[in-house]
Amino acid sequence: MTDAVEIARDAVEMILVRHASTAWSGRRYCGRSDPPLTAAGRAEAVALARRLAPTLPPATRLVSSPARRAVATAAAIAAAAGGLEVRHDPRWLETDFGDVEGLGFDEVAARHPELAEAIVDGTTAIDWPGGETAAALRARVASALHEFAYAEQPVVVVTHGGPILHALRLARNGVADLSEVPAPATEVRLVIGIRGADRRAVLPSRA
């Protein structure tokens, strides 16, 4: 159940939704690959949408990563909320995992032992071999957050674990870990101040 929060006049609420499950969820690193939702994932998306839609304030915007797993999840929310328009924004795509794409953790440990050790240690700022740097991911998420801060409208963003983690880090002055990334088809809520992310009010929700 999501904690209640009073939104200040100089802030907006942002809901970061992790897309529903695919066949790779929790099994393989899935960045720029584009698997569809499984049957279970489609059911998760519908359940999420039915729970989330009644809580959305008027004039809420709905933004999605262009990946089809996110788009399908966003479509369920849009329908449950009475036909919201979905805007696609590539800044919310998952991390480009490069050489790790499609691997399970055991395979990562065999091929990239230092990387696997960093992951186990809870390192969140990772430059993926052959893929995206932490700085590049942070920059694109920061750009999107900055835009939302000045739009002054509540927003739902359907995205992926990596961007959510970096949004939390930006909102909390660099303090966030993997345990705070929501499971598929659940969300975290942020209060975004007009001048940027307000790190005083990060509200995890794992319904």
Classify residue 104 as exposed, middle or buried by CB count within 10 Å of its CB (0-12, 13-18, 19+): middle
| Residue 17, domain member (yes or no) | yes
Pull the structure tokens for residue 63.
């933004």
pLDDT of residue 194: 57
| Residue 6, domain member (yes or no) | no
Reported confidence tier of residue 152, pLDDT bands at 50, 70, 90: confident
SS (H, E, C) 150-180: HHCCCEEEEECHHHHHHHHHHHCCCCCCHHH
Question: pLDDT tens, 117-146?
Answer: 999 998 888 999 999 999 999 999 999 998
Is there a contact between 13 and 182 (Cβ–Cβ < 8 Å)?
no
Closest CA to 17 of 82, 66, 64, 83: 64
The whole-model pTM stands at 0.88
Reported confidence tier of residue 198, pLDDT bands at 50, 70, 90: very low
Q: Residues of the chain with pLDDT > 90: what percent?
A: 70
| Residue 4, domain member (yes or no) | no
CA distances to 33, 58, 100, 114, 128 from 111, rounded to whole Å, are 20, 49, 9, 9, 13
CATH number, position 148: 3.40.50.1240
Which structural domain range is residue 27 located in? 11-205
| Residue 1, domain member (yes or no) | no
Classify residue 181 as exposed, middle or buried by CB count within 10 Å of its CB (0-12, 13-18, 19+): buried
| Residue 179, domain member (yes or no) | yes
DSSP string, 39-71: HHHHHHHHHHHHHHGGGPPTT-EEEE-SSHHHH
pLDDT of residue 57: 87
Q: Is residue 200's pLDDT more than 80?
A: no
Residue 59 neighbours by CB distance under 10 Å: 9
Question: pLDDT tens, 84-111?
Answer: 999 999 999 999 999 999 999 999 999 9
pLDDT of residue 149: 77
pLDDT of residue 161: 95
| Mean pLDDT, rounded, of the chain | 87
As for how many domains the chain has, the answer is: 1
CA distances to 93, 134, 136 from 129, rounded to whole Å, are 18, 11, 13
Residues 59-70, mean pLDDT to the nearest whole number: 97
pLDDT of residue 49: 98
Q: Is residue 6's pLDDT more than 70?
A: no
Residues 162-166, mean pLDDT to the nearest whole number: 94
pLDDT of residue 169: 87
pLDDT of residue 163: 96
Residues 64-72, mean pLDDT to the nearest whole number: 98
Q: Is residue 10's pLDDT more than 80?
A: no
